[in-house]
Structure 1
Amino acid sequence: MGTPNTLSNLLFVNAVRPRSMSPVQQRRNKLSNKLWEQIQLARSQIEHTHFVVKRRVTVKDVEGNYKSIERPKRIKPWWFMSSDGSLCLSVFYGSKRIEIVPEKTSIRAANMTDLIAVLDLLKSETEAGSLDVAIEKASGALKMNFNKNR
């Protein structure tokens, strides 16, 4: 049993848990998760291991029953070797390339270790909200693609 003044050491507040997340926070989380996947993919390439993210999908079997199974998720690396031989990174939100700096779509990295440092920095800046304008622009471009098909 605890001491009598244990509860008095706690800070009690009136707070209500939000029912839903704001769209801005949802976009931040989406990009942050994708950046995490890219960091893990880059680390696995350096360490010569496999990185697999599983996702649940529902499939119909031979008898016509639906089953939920896990399948590996295909993760495409966002980095590439440019024509001058340097390692470059493009950040994507969905299928749209994000312009973090206006008119610039790629970030140059010296090597794979530097690439991981760049991805870590981008992830922390995304979570802090520094990339909200760029994410909003890419999100709007994605929405335009969906709306013109209707």
Structure 2
Amino acid sequence: MSLNNLKLVATKRPGALPQIVQRRNRLIAKIWEQTELAKAQQEGKPFQPTRFRSVKDTETGERRNMESPKRVRAWWFTAENGRLCMSVRYGAKTLELAKGKSAIEVGTINELIPTLDALKAAVAAGELDTQLEAVSATMRSGFAAK
């Protein structure tokens, strides 16, 4: 294959992504984890994602990356009426999806994965941008100098 067969363009690599796009991507990644957890629970298998942690060796003092299991808590729960409900979490906060409403009634475990897929599409389309902005503003205010 030669360069003549490739489509050449004059463009430059973009800098950092806008803050709201980073928040959307972070939430979409968490929704993917919840989808995989739901699939694993339906199949009766464990879901144990891993992450890399930097650990300092006490004897030599050198740092090395170590793979450790990551705990994923389910966003769904059974409500008083016996139906399955799901809240959407961003960090340690629960998103308020509509005024005074912070959960989605799913119904049964079989409807959970399609609901998560619809939620992922809504986040990618930017439908939860105002909620993400509000919750991240409250999280930032907790770090403000006093």
Aligned twin of 1:35: 31
Q: For 1:21, which of 17, 27, 30 is the aligned residue?
A: 17
Aligned twin of 1:124: 121
Q: Give distance in 1, aligned partners of 2:66 and 2:39.
A: 27
Aligned twin of 2:100: 103
For residue 59 of structure 1, report the CA deviation from its aligned partner: 1.6
Q: Give distance in 1, aligned partners of 2:13 and 2:55.
A: 36
Number of equivalenced pairs? 144
**CA deviation map 1:23-51 (0-9, x unaligned):** 01000000000000000001100001111
The CA RMSD measured in Å over matched residues stands at 1.9
Q: Give distance in 2, aligned partners of 1:61 and 1:131.
A: 43
Aligned twin of 1:88: 85
Aligned twin of 2:64: 67
Aligned twin of 1:146: 143
SS in 1 for 2:53: strand
Q: For 1:57, which of 50, 53, 60 is the aligned residue?
A: 53
Deviates more, 1:78-87 or 1:60-69: 60-69
For residue 67 of structure 1, report the CA deviation from its aligned partner: 2.2
Deviates more, 1:14-23 or 1:66-75: 14-23
For residue 19 of structure 1, report the CA deviation from its aligned partner: 1.6
For residue 62 of structure 1, report the CA deviation from its aligned partner: 4.3
Q: Give distance in 1, aligned partners of 2:29 and 2:141.
A: 23
The question of whether the paired residues in 2 share the 8 Å contact of 1:96 and 1:141 is answered with no
1:91 partner amino acid: V
**TM norm structure 1:** 0.87
- Sequence identity, in percent? 38
SS in 1 for 2:50: strand
For residue 60 of structure 1, report the CA deviation from its aligned partner: 2.6
Query: Which residues of structure 2 form unaligned runs of 5+?
Result: none
For residue 145 of structure 1, report the CA deviation from its aligned partner: 1.9
